[in-house]
Structures are given as C-alpha cells and as structure tokens.
Amino acid sequence: MTAKVFIDGEVGTTGLQIRARLARRDDISLISLSEDARKSRDARLAAFAAADFAILCLPDAAVHDIAPDLAGLPCRVIDASTAHRTDPAWEFGFAELDAGARSRIAAAKHVSNPGCYSTGAIALLRPMIDAGLIARDHPITINALSGYSGGGKAMIAEFENGAVTGGFVYATGQKHKHLPEIVARAGLTRRPIFVPQVGQFSQGMIVQVPLHLPPGGPEAARAALAAHYAGQHFVRVVDRAAMGERIDPQRLNATNLLEIAVDGDPETGATVLIAQLDNLGKGASGAAVQNLNIMIGCDEAKGL
C-alpha cells in the first residue's frame, strides 16, 4: 500500500531534506502544491484532506494557525516545529527515549519532532537520570555547536553571502526555544544553563554536558548510556577514540545517526558526555522520516 504524504513547507531547509529522502521511495506518494497554491489556505487544507500523513515544516506561528483546522481531518501529523514539543496531546518523536516510545509513536495521530540541540541533550541526560546517576534537580550545563543550516533561510543567507564570517555564541539569556523540551523530555526539574554556538559550516552538531560525578564517574556514565541504547539502530554509544582526537561536528552528516561518547578523569569523577549528530539528520529531517516509518509500520530505517 502506498502512503500519501503532504509536506507543508516543503521548500524550507527541513522540508527539502525530508522530500529528498521520500521522493525516491516507491511506497510513498508525495502530494505537492504549486508555488501559488502553497500560499492558499484552501489548497493546503485540500492537500491535508487527501493525505494519509502530513509533515509540518513551518514556523511556530504558522503551525498554531493551521493546527485547529487539522484536528478534524483523518491525516496523521508530524510537526517539525517547536510548537507542540511539550504539549501532552502530541507524542514526542524521539523513538529511543524509553522502552515504550516506539509503540506510542506508532499509535499516535499527532507526533512532535524533537529539536536538533534537544535531541543531543535529551539523549545524554535522560539515561543518566533514569539510572539515578544525576538527580532531576541537578545543576546542568549544556554546551553545543551547530552548523548554520539550523538557523533557517535567513541565517544560511548571512553565512553564504559573507555577511557573517567565523562563528558566534548566542542565546546566552537562557531563553532558547529548545530549553522547555529539554527540561520536559529529559525529566529535569531545574532548567539547565544552555550555551549554543554556530560555526562556519552548513551541517553537523556536537552537544556536550560536563558533570562533576564521584570517582569512577565516566565509567558509570558510559555503562548507563550503553545499557539504555543497547540494540538501537540510530543511537550508538561509541568509544571516545571513534570520534577522533578533534571532534568534527560534520562527521555524521547525511546520516540519521547519533553517536554518544563519554570522556573525563576517572580519578576525580570529572565527566564529559558528548553527542554527535547531523542537525538536519537525526536533529530534524532524518528523525521526521524515522517517525513516519514507525507510524506507517514499515522498516524504521527505510530511506535512511
């Protein structure tokens, strides 16, 4: 059976990459609109009505505007925006979150795709909390580096036309839009300090969480993470050496992989948790396709 899929916002950065992954598949029929029709609410609603699945690749405000009209339609929806990531009515689309995540995604009508930074942060923190290695109210600091594609068309243009050279740190006022979902989905009760930065490269990401743990902390952290992700296809715990002496944020580009390593000093317990991923792969478009596969009921890795 062929699944009919409508990507609302298919010409944006995330939408284009989702479309590229789906266009080569014979089990999916893409519903596309002309440039003029993409601006028509009626045309978009007709596309939603004709679809089995819809993927929203829109700004938050546009999602909130269209979502009420989708409630009565039969199509199942994946939202790639920030709009519903802490909404209990929407299933959080991180299949590796816990043992029941896949079955919840498979049954859900509405799934919220995680953000790129939050995918790395939650992947590191949730197993540590579940294993009791850190408390829910532990003071956490998250440091992250992303390619500029995560900033959307405006930021991409700034880098590619030379208006921005080098990288920069931003959102130091602790209001980054990914913080609420990190708190909610990692199981924290205290908001972490999050310091993101953008580098002069298009795609790729590193997320780091430094921790003061008791002696032996790095080994305990690695054991907890390895146990949590045992048998997973897309999230892997690897030896620190696998990431190279200098960790390249672009190493996993064009994949849906998220690799985790642990480093630090066993004698003091100083520990660094490291996640490496493609911000447009497992951090956006790849995760959306993975969730779609789970909802369809086909091989989770199909097209990835």
Cite the active site residues. Answer: 116
Backbone angles phi and psi of 159, in degrees to 5? -75, -40
Q: Are 129 and 188 in contact (CB under 8 A)?
A: yes
Two tokens, residue 44: 């978009």
Q: How far is the C-alpha of 299 from the C-alpha of 294, rounded, in Å? A: 7
Q: Are 56 and 78 in contact (CB under 8 A)?
A: yes
DSSP H or E segment with residue 28: strand 28-31
Q: Are 115 and 177 in contact (CB under 8 A)?
A: yes
Indicate the pairing of strand 53-56 with strand 28-31.
Answer: unpaired
Q: What radius of gyration do the chain's Cα atoms show?
A: 19
Two tokens, residue 76: 């199942």
Two tokens, residue 137: 């109210």
Inter-CA distances, 114 with 32, 41, 95, Å: 24, 26, 10
Up-side HSE of residue 10: CA atoms within 13 Å toward CB? 22
- Report how many helices (DSSP H) and strands (DSSP E) the chain contains, helices first: 9, 13
Maximum Cα–Cα distance across the chain: 64
